[in-house]
Structure 1
Amino acid sequence: MEDVIRVLLIEDDEDDYFLTSDYLDRCESPSFHLTWVTNSSDALDILQRKNFDLCLLDYILGSENAIDVLEVLKSNQITLPVVILTGQNDVAVDEMVMRAGAADYLQKSELETPRFMRTIRYAMVRREIENERVERHKIEQKNKAKDKFLAHLGHELRTPLTSILGYTELLLDENRYPDVEQELNIIHTNGKHLLSLLNDLLDMSRLMAERLELTRKDIELDGLMTDVYSLMNLAAKDKGLQLILDSENPVPEQINADPTRLRQVLINLISNAIKFTDKGHINVSVELLSPSMASSRERLLFRVADSGIGMPPNKLETIFQPFEQIEDVMRANHGGAGLGLAISRELVHMMGGEINVESSFGKGSIFSFTIDPGTLEGIPRRRLSLTLPTRRDNEELNLHVSGRVLIVDDLRELRRLTGHLVSQCHASVAFAENGVKALEAVLQAEEEGHPFHLVLMDIHMPVMNGIDSLKAIRRHKSNVSVVALTAANRKGLKQSLLDSGFDEVLGKPIDRVALTQILDRYLIRTEGPAPSREFEKQRAPEETISKTVSRKVLLIEDDEDAAELIQLLLANQGHDVIIAQTGNQAISTMREVVFDVILMDLTLPDYHGYDLAEDTRRLQSSAQVFIVSGYQPEKEKMESLGIKGALLKPVAKADLMELFESI
């Protein structure tokens, strides 16, 4: 409570004013500063000009009473606590003034009793509580406004990024302008960098607003770690660094965690290590921690150690704070928004762990974090040991083959990485995201008379795993060669997979030498120099084969550039696309044309996407509806409206290919 309490007395009896003033003057702690008015008009005037902590209000003021005055104060949004003073004891009056908004009710005969001071103290405490509530509400409203702004900003930035990245990708694929290929690659690279910055900003916003949720599931630890290694090893090699993965002790083969967010933290830390290391190695290790006084459960410890530039001690305290690194990032010119470590810390906390750093300037850094791996009772344990791929000269790896290869993996990045390695040997490439899609692609290709010559099949996938997919392929009398891809290296696994019907087993991370040998064995070797650009253009359509069924598509998008790009990408894949730029235009079109697929933006000039989805289900009940937006859609809302899925802008050619493959 304040040292000096500013009190406004609204009292039309001068004697009562003197009595109140005299009592308050005799109080030493707290002290009071009293201002006296005799009616509601004067009270309103002074309350609008000055600040008060408390109001003492006589119940009867000539032709007015306290309830009338309280209504005047309320209508003018004046919220200070009001204590009613009366010369009589009337329970009915007490109830009326309290319902009208008074903080308390007091008889004038009690002015010089301890109850008067208690009443003032209680009124002041309630005022402080109310002020805190109002301030909290203001902060919440500001945060909501900020979140809406960031979501809107994300949408506004993602939409033009769709055009920038999409058209650049098309120009690079068509190779019409070889003289500016380098410049186009620079545009594409920087556009993807801008998208990465935007994703970091939006991730941080969702974390701060506590709107990001984990999706925990049982995952194979060695598979996840090997996938991370596969993704990061190329970046390490580009800088001449050695990336090593190992475990300090036997670790569980299976854990319960969010694989996407765990992978995000690991990639973030390894990317930073590569960025700040110019020579030497990056060592990634995993260790199982026994229960301790701090934690009654086992914890999994991940450690990323580098031989890079390190950090001075004064930087370690703020390294995980959001926005604290901006000045250092700008000065060092290493790129990024300075949010990666802050995001990693929040994600680690959500996974039940802690993140730490040890570093010496000029001697490298060690980032470590723990997570709760779930119940590990009965889970087999063994050491992770990743054998580094054998180095070979480029001449030994120069292979020219022809044939069609289907790559099956649930991780898009690994599909693309494997596809890149296969296409370097000049084979045609198609993709599938799980065993069901692989089965469909194999059977459809054979039905159309263009069968695959080889399938590279990951073992651990959702919907249908690799082993079940292979069995289903054989049940349909297909004899296509299928090679298993697996990160597991437990004893007897290779023979078990061969016994299951796989033609070969290829370990992850994929060794290019071993992959080349597989391609040489199952595809047709072609002689001569590397294919020309013209050959690549002729071969390009085959690289996107998985489903070539032409579909009637309605694209509802108000941004003309983004709409034309998506229409062009889908037309190149053989689909017939009609564009609607408003919700009403889409409704009119749906009344005239039957569509197989409807792609809709969430923000339109005259409709919200969710409202339009309801009308769409009514008009086109057989169409499959997908969201294409710069906003992250609400999963529950999508399910309730029957929306099949969503693409987050910017939309690439590969995104659309995968979407239509899933239909």
Structure 2
Amino acid sequence: MTEVIKILLIEDDEDDYFLTSDYLERCDSPKFLLTWATDSDSAIEALKQDTFDLCLLDFLLGAENALDVIDKLKANQYNLPVVILTGQSDSTVDEMVMRAGAADYLQKSEIESPRFMRTIRYALVRRDIENERMERNKVEQKNKAKDKFLAHLGHELRTPLTSILGYTELLIDDARNSPFQQELSIIHSNGKHLLSLLNDLLDMSRIMADKLELNMKEINLAAFLTDIHSLMQLNAKDKGLSLNVVPKTKLPEFIRTDPTRLRQILINLITNAVKFTDKGSITLTIEMEPSKVSQQSENYAESKALESVLRFTVDDTGIGMAPDKLDNIFHPFEQIEDVMRANHGGAGLGLAICKELVCKLEGDISVSSKMGEGSSFSFFINPGSLSDQTFDELSLGQVAPVEPSNLNMQLTGKVLIVDDLREIRRLTGHLVSQSKADISYAENGVKALEAVLQADEQNAPFNLVLMDIHMPVMNGIEALHAIRRHGKDLPVIAVTAASRKGLKESLIREGFNDVIGKPIDRFALASLLTLYLPEDNPVTFSNVETQVSGMPINKPFAPERPEPRVKLDVPSPLKSQQEKLPTSKVKRAEHEEKQTQPSAKRVLVVEDDEDAAELLQLFLTHLGCEVVKSLCGSDALDAVDEQSFDHILMDLTLPDYDGYELAKKIKLQQTSCKLTIVSGHQADESTMRSIGIDNALLKPVTKNDLESILV
């Protein structure tokens, strides 16, 4: 079909109009459709009635000139290429009209020359380029608006989710609500599901905007896989499934990757396998293979230079998928219809996110499946340089069976749990919490050292530290050496997933008091806790005689554990003197003794959502803190002006202040207090460092999260 170009001719001379029209009519290709206007007003009317590809504009139009007409076109938001026509050449006029925005400048005598047609063509090409630029700009603006909307949506949803999940956890922990445990668990489970959907949506938004950055680091592969096994085997066991980790080849001790994103991929694939499997097993296979197997993948250009790649395969014995459903399974918002959607739901983003993350890790992912027989998802990643690595058989600790009953260890004292993975800290904390010990958390060796020193300064030292070996910033061995250099001889137990020969002896020589493997066996942990923590039922003078007479002492059940030490509650000199003192002196002595105890931490909560602020106050009060609430930035500044605080928790989005600006002012008034962002937005790390903000928590926040940053 012949191209038709619509031209608006603005010309007050009828002869020139006929000359131009006659020439354009004789053109075979392209065809021109000409509309004539004699001044700017008639041109505006024509533009209201129709759209045009090009405007031919006479320079002189009676009382007007081309510059006046161009200004009117711009004022009325008409954006089309304009070619100026004039009776004579004038370089000054040429410069003026081009500066005004004309596409080109021609003499009328050139209308029937080849230059006229070239000028029209060039003007149309420039129009197309400009239109493409404007469209790209529109798309960019829409994407920015979408990203801004999603960020706002994330914040708005995370704030109520904080209250839903937080208050539900408080209700679950209250023994008085035991008749409603099932209902509360359903609320909590669905709240967590909603949070996972929100996280998927925000992750996909960052990926599509190319704003998702990797944090590459060296990780211990055995420890990493043991943590994955520990986390996911409980999900499998809940459905009566077994989760197996099978190495097919010898594996490197360390790889270089983004552990957070690799964990996200594996947990997503294993979660899907558990979700769509009703009986049988899930198997995670790991192997090293030559990179040549990836030559057919989309990422071969990146991967072909590698000597070898690390491949992970997740196989299940579930319901499987039809072959025609596999082509689109990694596309965003795609789900398998019918039974999958009806029974399992989801936003259809999990596998698309996995695909994008695998590609960012310089790999590729594929799937095979048969209806009724199960599915197999396989992906490989770039493990980094392995030239200096030792390869060995992967050995994971045996996961202890999960028993329904609790250990109910009657132990007290203070325990510090140190691990860089929050989920593992929580799992270990859950096991330790079955005693009556107070639990604190640290995410690396530096934080652990700070916690130990601070606890000693407050005359409330830790009775025991459970220290992971492989951590960023400062690993467990370095942290232990630092603790010992400060003269602290408290018991420190190494927690490690490695199982090479002689490791335990090596760690003991480093200065650890004992070693426990990952995944942590709860009975082995109970045995160690019994060795190092004081019992909750202290022996008094009256029951010492009972014990001497041969009656048994109540002890928590812990199979194959060493005999616990008997700790006698010998009365302090202060207590023995109280029996002889008058009542007033006893009270004064009690007051003096109380004064020696560490004071509770004073915490300021700055949060404009009253429900969220109330929940944070409840959590912190349960953790033994004194809490002051502020619902806006100005109230917070008044509070820090009147009182000193150990820690300040603040939202980024406040009605009267930008969170970062408020943080700067707070830091000027109280330089020694710790500052933590608690927000529905991801905090900017560089801004945090420049201000001196210590931590950032993403809503919804749990009591364990708060406890981990208060150490």
TM over 0.5: yes
State which of 453, 461, 467 in structure 1 corresponds to 2:477.
467
Pair 624,429 (structure 1): closer, same or farther in 2 beyond 3 Å? closer
Which segment drifts farther, 441-450 or 575-584? 441-450
* 2:282 paired with 1:282: yes
**Per the alignment, in what secondary structure is the counterpart of residue 356 of structure 1?**
strand
Per-residue deviation, 1:192: 1.7
> What residue number does 2:76 align with?
76
Q: Show CA shifts across 1:278-332 (max 9, x none).
A: 1222111222232435311132211111111111111111111111228558733
For residues 252-331 of structure 1, what are the structure 2 equivalents within 5 Å? Answer: 252-292=252-292, 294=300, 295-297=304-306, 298-325=308-335, 331=341
Per-residue deviation, 1:412: 1.4
- Quick check: 1:248–1:383 contact (8 Å CA) kept in 2? no
Q: Bigger radius of gyration, 1 or 2? A: 2
Per-residue deviation, 1:6: 0.7
- Quick check: 1:326–1:337 contact (8 Å CA) kept in 2? no
2: distance between equivalents of 1:179 and 1:281? 33
**Per the alignment, in what secondary structure is the counterpart of residue 244 of structure 2?**
strand
Per-residue deviation, 1:426: 6.4
> What residue number does 1:370 align with?
380
Aligned residues: 645
2: distance between equivalents of 1:159 and 1:102? 53
State which of 473, 495, 498 in structure 1 corresponds to 2:505.
495
For residues 226-245 of structure 1, what are the structure 2 equivalents within 5 Å? Answer: 226-245=226-245
> What residue number does 1:456 align with?
466
State which of 610, 623, 627 in structure 1 corresponds to 2:677.
627
**Per the alignment, in what secondary structure is the counterpart of residue 344 of structure 2?**
coil
Which segment drifts farther, 471-480 or 17-26? 471-480
Pair 98,549 (structure 1): closer, same or farther in 2 beyond 3 Å? farther
1: distance between equivalents of 2:460 and 2:604? 29
Code of the aligned partner of 1:74: K
Pair 158,524 (structure 1): closer, same or farther in 2 beyond 3 Å? same
Code of the aligned partner of 1:385: S
Q: Show CA shifts across 1:509-544 (max 9, x none).
A: 2234544554455567874799xxxxxxxxxxxxxx
> What residue number does 2:580 align with?
none
> What residue number does 2:544 align with?
none
> What residue number does 1:507 align with?
517
Pair 51,513 (structure 1): closer, same or farther in 2 beyond 3 Å? same
* 2:630 paired with 1:580: yes
2: distance between equivalents of 1:106 and 1:287? 71
Code of the aligned partner of 2:369: S
1: distance between equivalents of 2:198 and 2:86? 63
Q: Show CA shifts across 1:593-647 (max 9, x none).
A: 3333332211122222123223333333343322211111222222222222211
> What residue number does 2:161 align with?
161
Which segment drifts farther, 81-90 or 458-467? 458-467
> What residue number does 1:98 align with?
98
2: distance between equivalents of 1:197 and 1:549? 41
Q: Show CA shifts across 1:402-459 (max 9, x none).
A: 2444332121111211222344466654433333443454556567676655433211
For residues 127-138 of structure 1, what are the structure 2 equivalents within 5 Å? Answer: 127-138=127-138
Structure 2, unpaired ranges of 5+:
536-552, 558-596
* 2:561 paired with 1:552: no
2: distance between equivalents of 1:365 and 1:612? 52
Pair 658,422 (structure 1): closer, same or farther in 2 beyond 3 Å? closer
Per-residue deviation, 1:37: 0.7
Code of the aligned partner of 1:148: K
> What residue number does 2:645 align with?
595
Code of the aligned partner of 1:574: G
Pair 407,555 (structure 1): closer, same or farther in 2 beyond 3 Å? closer
* 2:195 paired with 1:204: no
Which segment drifts farther, 263-272 or 447-456? 447-456
- Quick check: 2:395–2:498 contact (8 Å CA) kept in 1? no
- Quick check: 2:458–2:598 contact (8 Å CA) kept in 1? no
Q: Show CA shifts across 1:325-384 (max 9, x none).
A: 285587332133221111111111111111111111111111111222222221222232
Pair 608,49 (structure 1): closer, same or farther in 2 beyond 3 Å? farther
- Quick check: 2:158–2:700 contact (8 Å CA) kept in 1? yes
Which segment drifts farther, 105-114 or 243-252? 243-252
- Quick check: 1:401–1:519 contact (8 Å CA) kept in 2? no
Code of the aligned partner of 2:427: L
* 2:420 paired with 1:410: yes
1: distance between equivalents of 2:692 and 2:339? 44
Code of the aligned partner of 2:46: I
**Per the alignment, in what secondary structure is the counterpart of residue 302 of structure 1?**
strand
> What residue number does 1:382 align with?
392
1: distance between equivalents of 2:463 and 2:639? 43
- Quick check: 1:275–1:334 contact (8 Å CA) kept in 2? yes
Q: Show CA shifts across 1:172-217 (max 9, x none).
A: 2233333333322222222222111111111111111112111111
Which segment drifts farther, 19-28 or 281-290? 281-290
Which segment drifts farther, 446-455 or 160-169? 446-455
Per-residue deviation, 1:61: 0.8
> What residue number does 1:181 align with?
181
Q: Show CA shifts across 1:117-139 (max 9, x none).
A: 11111111111111111111111
Pair 2,450 (structure 1): closer, same or farther in 2 beyond 3 Å? farther
> What residue number does 2:43 align with?
43
- Quick check: 1:453–1:481 contact (8 Å CA) kept in 2? yes
1: distance between equivalents of 2:394 and 2:331? 32
- Quick check: 2:226–2:397 contact (8 Å CA) kept in 1? no
2: distance between equivalents of 1:329 and 1:444? 56
* 2:707 paired with 1:657: yes
Code of the aligned partner of 2:501: K
State which of 340, 345, 353 in structure 1 corresponds to 2:350.
340
> What residue number does 2:570 align with?
none
Which segment drifts farther, 319-328 or 208-217? 319-328
Tell me the TM-score normalized by structure 1.
0.91
2: distance between equivalents of 1:176 and 1:591? 41
1: distance between equivalents of 2:51 and 2:598? 74
* 2:656 paired with 1:647: no
- Quick check: 1:392–1:513 contact (8 Å CA) kept in 2? no
2: distance between equivalents of 1:577 and 1:521? 36
2: distance between equivalents of 1:583 and 1:401? 45
- Quick check: 2:221–2:255 contact (8 Å CA) kept in 1? yes
Per-residue deviation, 1:225: 1.2
Pair 442,99 (structure 1): closer, same or farther in 2 beyond 3 Å? closer
Per-residue deviation, 1:478: 4.6
**Per the alignment, in what secondary structure is the counterpart of residue 333 of structure 1?**
helix
Which segment drifts farther, 475-484 or 310-319? 475-484
Structure 1, unpaired ranges of 5+:
531-546
Which segment drifts farther, 572-581 or 509-518? 509-518
- Quick check: 1:484–1:505 contact (8 Å CA) kept in 2? yes
- Quick check: 2:445–2:478 contact (8 Å CA) kept in 1? yes
Pair 218,390 (structure 1): closer, same or farther in 2 beyond 3 Å? closer
2: distance between equivalents of 1:219 and 1:529? 37
Pair 250,2 (structure 1): closer, same or farther in 2 beyond 3 Å? farther
Code of the aligned partner of 1:227: D
- Quick check: 2:412–2:435 contact (8 Å CA) kept in 1? no
1: distance between equivalents of 2:461 and 2:639? 38
Code of the aligned partner of 1:415: R
- Quick check: 1:400–1:527 contact (8 Å CA) kept in 2? no
Q: Show CA shifts across 1:91-149 (max 9, x none).
A: 22111111110111111111112111111111111111111111111111111111111
- Quick check: 2:218–2:254 contact (8 Å CA) kept in 1? yes
Per-residue deviation, 1:14: 0.8
